[in-house]
Amino acid sequence: MTRTKQARRAREYISLAIVASIIIAALLLARHYDAPLRRFIEENPVPGVFLYVLLNILDAMVAPGATLPLIPIAAKAWGRIPAALVTTVGWTTGSLLGFLIARRWGASAVRKITSYDRVKRLRKYIPDNLFWSVVLLRTVLPMDVISYVLGLFTEMSWQSYLAATSLGLLPSAILLAYLGKLPHAYEIFTLCLGAAVVAWVIMAARRKSA
């Protein structure tokens, strides 16, 4: 492995470690400040919705998973379905912005936002039937990566991308909102995060040995 590849892989590992650290910190903070945050959302519905959507937009563009700890708070404040709908709006808007940035400004802009190496590696996995594949992929892949991959390397229209993304994200948002209202929501989210980290480590090890 050349020094350039080693440096790129090191940067990727560092960026993923930073995202994981942010999510863990967010989980701890959300659990500690659950009651005051929920009270703020209930007492300030319009600013609460605006802030929640804004944070989910940023989540979808640069730090996938960072707002997961807020879903239990939103589910308790608004109910499961409203929380799922608002979450879907935020994620979908951020994903569409990432798609449009990649489509309009290309690889140079993507490099400034996320790991271009990860984006480039996924190019070979772009399927033929884009619409329904995007619906499926949206349930399993980090939100930032798929947005940039499809914006850079496909001719998919933004209207089709918007529809497929919202259809794919809504079931996940409903499931997470349902889990968020359970008594041990934060413990469940922590276990899910741990499973995701283990899966990523296994995939990274297999990729390295391939």
Residue 122 confidence (pLDDT): 81
pTM of the model: 0.82
Q: Tens of pLDDT along 143-174?
A: 678 899 999 999 999 999 999 999 999 998 99
Tokens (6 digits) for 134 = 């995007």
pLDDT digits (tens, 9 = 90+) for 79-98: 999 999 999 999 999 999 99
pLDDT attached to residue 29: 78
Q: Distances from the Cα of 91 to the Cαs of 39, 88, 139, 203, 206, in angstroms? A: 23, 5, 12, 25, 30
What confidence score (pLDDT) does residue 6 get? 65
Q: Which residue has the higher pLDDT, 188 or 203?
A: 188
- Our count of domains for the chain comes to 1
Range of the domain at 187: 3-62+69-209
| Mean model confidence pLDDT for the chain | 83
